[in-house]
């Protein structure tokens, strides 16, 4: 829990600390000086590690949990992340670097990306070092290109990374308790999964009685 707490603390401090605010501005200037060409891939790379986990499971490369538990953790972590990010965006009212709106802090894309990367890490931790770390390059790419695309400040993506990691860790902690709750309340086959379509987030659910 130390890493996500430190990342979130840095992000929150960047809202008021003049030195960190200056770093936000200097980072955006450096990105502009590097003349990196923006793109829309960050809309998709945020989900890449999550997709790898499901794809590997379907291919027979099992992680530390069965696919049902993976889906449950995925949904819980996604909901936790969204429940944290959305209200904070409204409360902080930070203007984006491009001036498009005042929902800059924290970065939702980055949060989702690190939810995905941490999920992959936890599933293949102790089984395959390469696979356990494979999600992080995609998460870092997503965070970097949120700044390259001039949508977020450095503090936004740092906080988003912390929220994503924390949400996944909390989801794994909650998993056995959630399973017990559903086992007590219903014997039906229940599945829930995150949905991203037309730049909108959602939750899909199916139940077989």
Distance CA 160, CA 154 (A): 10
Angle CA(200)–CA(41)–CA(139) in degrees, nearest 5?
90
Q: Tell me whether residue 207 is in a domain.
A: no
Number of domain units in the chain: 1
Q: Tell me whether residue 32 is in a domain.
A: no
CA dihedral 99, 100, 101, 103 (to 10 degrees): -90
Q: Report whether pLDDT(59) > 90.
A: yes
Q: Tell me whether residue 154 is in a domain.
A: yes
- Please, what is the average pLDDT of the chain? 90
Q: What is the pLDDT of residues 107-142, one digit of tens each?
A: 999 999 999 999 999 999 999 999 999 999 999 999
Q: Tell me whether residue 35 is in a domain.
A: no
**Percent of the chain topping pLDDT 90:** 80
Q: What is the pLDDT of residues 85-105, one digit of tens each?
A: 999 999 999 999 999 999 999
Interior/surface letters 14-52, b for 16+ CB within 10 angstroms, e for the rest: bbeeeebbebbeebbeebeeeeeeeeeebeebbbbbbeb
Q: Tell me whether residue 29 is in a domain.
A: no
- Domain of residue 138 covers 2-12+40-184
Q: Tell me whether residue 202 is in a domain.
A: no
Quickly state the pLDDT bin for 209 (edges 50, 70, 90). very low
**C-beta of residue 65 within 8 angstroms of C-beta of residue 120:** no
Q: Which residues contact 88 (CB under 8 A, 6 or more apart)?
A: 105, 106
Distance CA 35, CA 75 (A): 37
Q: Tell me whether residue 20 is in a domain.
A: no
Distance CA 127, CA 116 (A): 18
Q: Report whether pLDDT(166) > 60.
A: yes
Q: Tell me whether residue 51 is in a domain.
A: yes
127: left (phi over 0), alpha (psi -120 to 50) or beta: alpha
């Amino acid at each position: 829990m130390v890493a996500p707490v430190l990342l979130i603390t840095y992000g929150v401090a960047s809202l008021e600390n003049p030195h960190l605010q200056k770093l936000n501005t200097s980072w955006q200037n450096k990105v502009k000086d590097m003349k990196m060409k923006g793109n829309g891939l960050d809309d998709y790379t945020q989900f890449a590690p999550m997709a790898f986990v499901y794809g590997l499971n379907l291919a027979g490369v099992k992680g530390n949990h069965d696919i049902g538990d993976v889906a449950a953790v995925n949904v819980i972590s996604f909901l936790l992340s969204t429940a944290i990010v959305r209200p904070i965006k409204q409360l902080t009212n930070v203007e984006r670097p491009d001036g498009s709106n005042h929902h800059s802090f924290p970065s939702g894309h980055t949060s989702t990306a690190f939810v995905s990367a941490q999920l992959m890490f936890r599933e293949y931790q102790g089984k395959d070092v390469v696979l356990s770390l494979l999600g992080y390059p995609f998460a870092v790419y997503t965070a970097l290109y949120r700044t390259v695309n001039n949508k977020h400040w450095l503090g936004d993506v740092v906080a988003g990374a912390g929220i994503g990691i924390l949400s996944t860790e909390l989801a794994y902690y909650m998993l056995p308790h959630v399973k017990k709750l559903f086992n007590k309340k219903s014997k039906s086959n229940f599945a829930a999964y995150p949905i991203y379509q037309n730049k909108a987030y959602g939750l899909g659910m199916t139940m077989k009685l």
